[in-house]
Structure 1
Amino acid sequence: MALQDEIDLRSTEVKSDSYSMSIGELTNLYQDKEIDIHPEFQRFYRWSPLQKTKLIESILLGIPLPPIFVSQRKDGVWDVVDGLQRLSTIFQFMGILLNEEKKKVEPLTLEETKYLPSLINKKWDNPEDPENAFTAAQKLFIKRSKLDVKIILKESDEKSKYELFQRLNTGGSPLSDQELRNCILIMENRKMFSWLSELSKDEGFEQCIVLTDRAKEEQYDMDLALRFIVFRTLDAEEVKRAKDINEFVTDKMLEIARNPDFNFDQEAKAFKATFSILNETIGADCFHRYDVQKQRFLGGFLLSAFEAVALGIGYNYEAILDVKKSFDILERIKKLWGNKDFIRRIGSGKTASLRMPRIVPLGRDLFQP
């Protein structure tokens, strides 16, 4: 297909419109539940009070803000695709932002900034300290300030919303790959998001992966849980076609979320059984490097070890449970770390798309009773 043909084809998948809307109008849409900023997303965004204050400062100084991107759902409601943190900050400052429990979030108290140091301790409303409240004129100025709103119309290809979400929230964004996926999953299938979140809190799983606080904050535990679900029984030939594993995982997640026949109970059973087996036999060391010479585990968590060990056991868990007493997990892990092909595949510079098509089948074979 020629370049122009590809451009013509793809450009028809996204139908859009744009408006210039006042903050007051956007506020009314929010209070009337006609725009969804997904309160669940608030756990993934980590703007500091100073970052939030700088947004309010920019509005007051008339500094143009990036456009807000929304996707129009079939029911007419707008899903915020990009701009959630900006809108959340504005609504929090105005005292109308609601959390997941539909309760009002503590209104924002502003901080001192370089250009407007007198913003310190200012609030939208402050009955107890009127001197530190915005004046009626300042409130009107905020409400009348306008933002550009780009709308992805409901006629657009459904997948385009998520691709745009990823593209707009990647780069300077503080979100990790899994935080982005979580936002997409919440928009697509809230029940699956809750299901995956619960899996990531499984005791056996938590005992085996032993992550840092930062890794947990960035939802790496959910990333690993999702990878297990995606790759546990996947044909290795399909993995070979993936040029970018992160995009591949996202696409597969959406396939599962949209599949009415996906057996969540069966996958949860496989997940819990796998990490119960590992926790009972090896524990926190199971995804660490095993030094064959020193005969002990060393270092911290390794994704490559997770891909071989967890996915290998997950693929064979039922057969392993049948012969549990005679099946030596530790000996199989030792064999893995003595396998030259495995060591070569996980070396420096080996990307996941090159590594996984070889080590996932290797793990399945190695952990077969």
Structure 2
Amino acid sequence: MSLQEEIDKKAKEIQADGYPMSIGELANMYKDGELIVNPEFQRFFRWSDSQKTKLIESILLGIPIPPIFVAHGEKGIWDVIDGLQRLSTIFEFMGLLKLTDDTLKPPSKLLGTKFLPSLENKMWENLDDPENSFTQELRIDFKRSKFDIKIIKKTSDKDAKYELFQRINTGGSKLSDQEVRNCLLIMINRDFYLWAAELVKYQPFVNCIPLSEKQQLEQFNMEILMRYLVIRHADLSKIKGNEDIGEYISEEIINIVESGELDIQKEAEVFYKTFAYLDTILSDDSFRKFDHEKGKFRGGFLMPAFEVVIAGLSENIDEMNKMAPEEMIQKIKNIYNSPQYLSATTRGGARPITRLKDLATLSKGVFMNG
């Protein structure tokens, strides 16, 4: 197939439309359940009060706002792909924003700005403090302000909205790879996301993977879990070596979820057994590199250490549980001095995706049949 044929084919799969809509119209759609602004996404989009105020200020001053992207879903409902934080900020200010339990989030207060210092402490409507409320005229003008809405039509390829969401929210580095991945999982299969979010709270897992505050905020614990599932269930032999590791993890975890073949109950059992065992024998040393010269595990959590331990250990956890702890600890220590590990982690120019493949393969050999 030629490049032009590929373009023509894909272009037919993604049907889009667009037109301007007022904030009032969008607010009414939101209240009626016709516009989905997923409240679970809020944990991944972290705007400050200053950023929220600047958006309201821009609308009041008529400064152009980037388009809102939505996907046309079942029963005509629109699912927000890009613009969630902008819409959430507006609906929160208006006192309309719903939380996960369908209760309303308390209306926000604005900050004073360089251009509009009188915005300080202003609210949409506060009957107890009329002086610090928008006037009726301001509220009407605000609701008449318009956004350019870009709509991915229902007839588009089913993966179009996921692809668009991923591209928009990674291009500007607004979210980490895993924060985007979490949002995609909520869009594709909310129950799977909730299952995964519970797994990473398992205390032995937390003990084995000490994370910084920044890593916790960026959902690195979920990143590690996604990599764990991909290592266990993706066909790593098909890795060519030129793939981007972040894109590969995203694509494979979506394939795992959409296939419906993962038995989450059995998967959870293996997960619990694996990390309970590691917590017992090594705890927070589980994924630190062993320094043979110093005779101890050193440094922080190391992804290559995770990849080389978790693949084979989780696959053979019942057999590994029968080994004496000292024997298992020595087996893990020996990995870091092996030619295969050193080659995979010190080879100049090696890509993370190649390292993942090599170390998972090494791991399965090390832990096979004890």
Q: TM-score, normalised by structure 1?
A: 0.96
Change (3 A) 1:256 1:155: same
Partner of 2:191: 191
Deviation at 1:235, TM superposition (A): 3.1
- Matched AA of 1:14: I
Deviation at 1:113, TM superposition (A): 1.2
Tell me, what secondary structure is at the counterpart of 1:174? coil
Moved more, 188-197 or 173-182: 173-182
Deviations 1:113-144 (A, max 9, x none): 12111111110012222111001111111100
Deviation at 1:242, TM superposition (A): 6.2
Deviation at 1:188, TM superposition (A): 0.9
Partner of 2:297: 297
> Does the 8 Å CA contact 1:233/1:315 hold for their aligned counterparts?
no
Deviation at 1:236, TM superposition (A): 2.7
Deviation at 1:218, TM superposition (A): 0.8
Partner of 2:2: 2
> Does the 8 Å CA contact 1:242/1:248 hold for their aligned counterparts?
no
Partner of 1:358: 358
Partner of 2:275: 275
Tell me, what secondary structure is at the counterpart of 2:159? helix
Partner of 2:126: 126
- Matched AA of 2:75: D
Tell me, what secondary structure is at the counterpart of 1:324? coil
Moved more, 250-259 or 216-225: 250-259
CA distance in structure 2 between the partners assigned to 1:327 and 1:316 by the alignment: 17
- Matched AA of 1:13: E
- Matched AA of 2:187: M
> Does the 8 Å CA contact 1:288/1:299 hold for their aligned counterparts?
yes
Deviation at 1:351, TM superposition (A): 2.4
CA distance in structure 2 between the partners assigned to 1:153 and 1:5 by the alignment: 22
Deviations 1:288-319 (A, max 9, x none): 11101111011101111111112221122122
- Matched AA of 2:69: F
- Matched AA of 2:180: L
Partner of 2:25: 25
CA distance in structure 2 between the partners assigned to 1:275 and 1:266 by the alignment: 15
CA distance in structure 2 between the partners assigned to 1:60 and 1:219 by the alignment: 35
Change (3 A) 1:326 1:64: closer
Deviations 1:44-96 (A, max 9, x none): 11000000000000000101111000001122110000000000000000001
Partner of 2:335: 336
Q: What are the equivalent positions in structure 2 for 1:195-274 lying under 5 Å apart?
A: 195-240=195-240, 243-274=243-274
CA distance in structure 2 between the partners assigned to 1:289 and 1:219 by the alignment: 23
CA distance in structure 1 between the partners assigned to 2:256 and 2:269 by the alignment: 17
Change (3 A) 1:339 1:301: same
- Matched AA of 1:257: V
> Does the 8 Å CA contact 1:20/1:149 hold for their aligned counterparts?
yes
- Matched AA of 2:102: K
Deviations 1:163-208 (A, max 9, x none): 1001111133431111101111111101000000011111111110
Deviation at 1:162, TM superposition (A): 0.6
Partner of 2:323: 324
Tell me, what secondary structure is at the counterpart of 1:98? coil
Deviation at 1:10, TM superposition (A): 1.4
CA distance in structure 1 between the partners assigned to 2:238 and 2:101 by the alignment: 41
Partner of 1:82: 82
Deviation at 1:327, TM superposition (A): 7.1
Partner of 1:113: 113
Tell me, what secondary structure is at the counterpart of 1:96? coil
2:49 equivalent to 1:55: no
Change (3 A) 1:12 1:269: same
CA distance in structure 2 between the partners assigned to 1:11 and 1:332 by the alignment: 53
Partner of 1:12: 12
- Matched AA of 1:362: L
CA distance in structure 2 between the partners assigned to 1:135 and 1:173 by the alignment: 38
CA distance in structure 1 between the partners assigned to 2:37 and 2:153 by the alignment: 17
- Matched AA of 1:225: L
Percent identity of the aligned residues? 45
Moved more, 261-270 or 42-51: 261-270
CA distance in structure 1 between the partners assigned to 2:125 and 2:325 by the alignment: 69
Moved more, 6-15 or 337-346: 337-346
Deviation at 1:367, TM superposition (A): 1.8
Tell me, what secondary structure is at the counterpart of 1:232? helix
CA distance in structure 2 between the partners assigned to 1:277 and 1:47 by the alignment: 40
CA distance in structure 2 between the partners assigned to 1:266 and 1:49 by the alignment: 44
Deviations 1:85-112 (A, max 9, x none): 0000000000010111111112110011
Q: What do you get for the CA RMSD once the two structures are aligned?
A: 1.5
Deviation at 1:239, TM superposition (A): 3.1
- Matched AA of 2:288: H
Tell me, what secondary structure is at the counterpart of 2:30? helix
In the alignment of these two chains, the number of paired residues is: 368
> Does the 8 Å CA contact 1:239/1:356 hold for their aligned counterparts?
no
CA distance in structure 2 between the partners assigned to 1:288 and 1:138 by the alignment: 58
